[in-house]
Amino acid sequence: MVAALALALGVVAILGAARWGAGRPETVRLVAGPNRPLNSDTGSLSAESSPSVVVSPVDPRVLVVAGRVDRPQLSAVVRLSRDAGQTWSDADLALPPGQARPFEPQLAFDGQGTLYVLFSTLEGPGIMSNGLWLETSANGGGTFSSPVRVADRYSYQARLVVDKASANVHVTWLQGDQRSSSKAGTGLGPPPNPVIMASSRDGGATFPLRAQVSDPRRRRVGAASPAIAPSGDLFVLYQDYGGDVADFEGLPGGIYEGAFSLVVSRSTNGGATFSDTGVVESTVVGSERFLVFVPKFPSLAIDPRSGRLYVAWSDLRNGDSDVFVRRSDDRGKTWSRPVRVDNAEDSPRQQQYLPKLAVAPNGRVDVLFLDRDDRDDRDDPLHTTAVLSSSFDKGGTWDAVTVSDQPFDARVGPRNEPSDPGARLAEIGTNLGLASTIDAAYAVWADSRRGSVERGQQDLFFATVRVVRG
């Protein structure tokens, strides 16, 4: 194998000539800055994906990114910047005694600048979880506390939210059992496998509260994301996979022909109990086989001022993959019609997918997603870019800018062999990373521009999109 040459990334601003929508005020434009890899180009077979990014509330120059490592072995990475993303360094997690395989880390800051990192640890073949762990850092990722066990074995798809006012910590996951161990990490046992939340009221030192988030009548659920409203109410978006037994249990078969649903559940008592507020969307059309331990996540975000809820997802209802957003002004009871945030006039080969939502303190709504041009010839590159779309009118209209300063090939990266051995696309992860401030959006995505189909290298790339006024 021939090592790829490192790219010299110059300062390239992609001015926001909006391809999609015209919702921004005329005095505001989006300007995407240079793309920066978060690691050096090793020329290896390494592959990183599924990033999260957070900004310190006490020092906006401090950014932290965490990601999943798929190769050379399943692991995790945390990197930090103290100069607003200009340079990055690796952070060292404090691993539990006897554990050497952290996986799929998640990040959050509280209002005082304490950083929280949630991760699972793995055992045996494949993605076999033997627990969830939480640790904190008082210096933005410089050093970490000893990890606290949040959940025991067979806990998957973990996500984290921290109340900035109270520092209460809430963790969601999909609970499996010993039946999944017999499948060598390819699927779960038959239902029930509920979405669970554990809550801490002492800054993550203990987690005495446990509650089932998902409705017991919904038998196959997952991909849950928690968020906190200004009122303190907890909301969790999760996916109902209906009758999709093949993906959920790791069985042979084709792409599920039925529809998935997106459901929001709410707790008004700090995570002690939950009840569904209703279905956000009942006709989500899937586009691929997936491994139940690491499915693609829809996205939930809440306006920190008004408490308005936003949900984003992608599906194939129009024949190709499009990104949609719905809004709720009444705490999830009713939802606006779905609005496409991508180009309503794109070609059937154009696919938009894997959306990540964030709401800025001033109410601006941002969605980061991937935009792929599918070619007919299997040997042709599948040119893919990261795109940020923003709404200045509560999700009514959208204005977009291409964040990537060069495309990458979606065929390059690790393959999800158990669920789809003939797949043309490489595994790109469960989510993208996005954090929004009044003046900027910070975007992180898995990018294979430094790899090849033969070598499959995949790296995390970072860019800042400035909101320029005047």
Q: Where residue 440 falls among pLDDT bands split at 50, 70, 90?
A: very high
Poorest-pLDDT segment among 105-119, 120-134, 160-174, 216-230: 120-134
Q: How many Cβ atoms sit within 10 Å of the Cβ of residue 219?
A: 18
At 204-248, the pLDDT tens digits run: 999 999 999 999 999 999 999 999 999 999 999 999 999 999 999
DSSP-derived 3-state class of residue 181: helix
pLDDT at 173 over 90: yes
Predicted confidence at residue 60, as pLDDT, reads: 95
- Considering the domain delimited by 14-469, tell me its CATH architecture: 6 Propeller (2.120)
pTM metric for this prediction: 0.92
Q: How far apart are CA 138 and CA 145, in angstroms?
A: 9
Mean pLDDT of all residues in 436-446 = 97
Poorest-pLDDT segment among 23-27, 254-258, 371-375: 23-27
Mean pLDDT of all residues in 245-260 = 91
More confident call, 83 vs 379: 83
Poorest-pLDDT segment among 269-283, 307-321, 419-433, 449-463: 419-433
Q: Where residue 180 falls among pLDDT bands split at 50, 70, 90?
A: low
Q: How many Cβ atoms sit within 10 Å of the Cβ of residue 142?
A: 13
How many percent of the chain have pLDDT more than 90? 73
Exposure string (b/e) for 327-344, b if CB count within 10 Å is 16 or more? bbeebbeebeebbbbbbe
Cα–Cα nearest to 236, from 285, 295, 301: 301
pLDDT at 15 over 80: no
- What is the identity of the amino acid at 64? V
Q: Residue ranges of the domains in the chain?
A: 14-469
Q: How many Cβ atoms sit within 10 Å of the Cβ of residue 353?
A: 23
Predicted confidence at residue 189, as pLDDT, reads: 87
How many percent of the chain have pLDDT more than 70? 89
Mean pLDDT, the chain, integer: 89
Q: Which two tokens stand for residue 171?
A: 């963790």
Q: Which two tokens stand for residue 300?
A: 């939930």
Predicted confidence at residue 320, as pLDDT, reads: 87
More confident call, 328 vs 12: 328
Q: Which two tokens stand for residue 128?
A: 């076999």
At 388-439, the pLDDT tens digits run: 999 999 999 999 999 999 999 999 988 765 444 456 788 899 999 999 999 9
Cα–Cα nearest to 158, from 185, 130, 178: 130
Predicted confidence at residue 9, as pLDDT, reads: 28
- What sign for the dihedral angle of Cα 44, 13, 371, 381? negative
Predicted confidence at residue 184, as pLDDT, reads: 53
Could you tell me if 463 and 86 are in contact, meaning their C-beta atoms sit under 8 angstroms apart? no
Mean pLDDT of all residues in 311-336 = 94
Beta-carbon-side half-sphere exposure of residue 29 (alpha carbons within 13 Å): 12
Q: How far apart are CA 219 and CA 239, in angstroms?
A: 11
Q: How far apart are CA 72 and CA 95, in angstroms?
A: 19
Q: In whole angstroms, what separates CA 46 from the centre of its chain?
A: 20
pLDDT at 14 over 60: no
At 61-113, the pLDDT tens digits run: 999 999 999 988 899 999 999 999 999 999 999 999 988 899 999 999 999 99
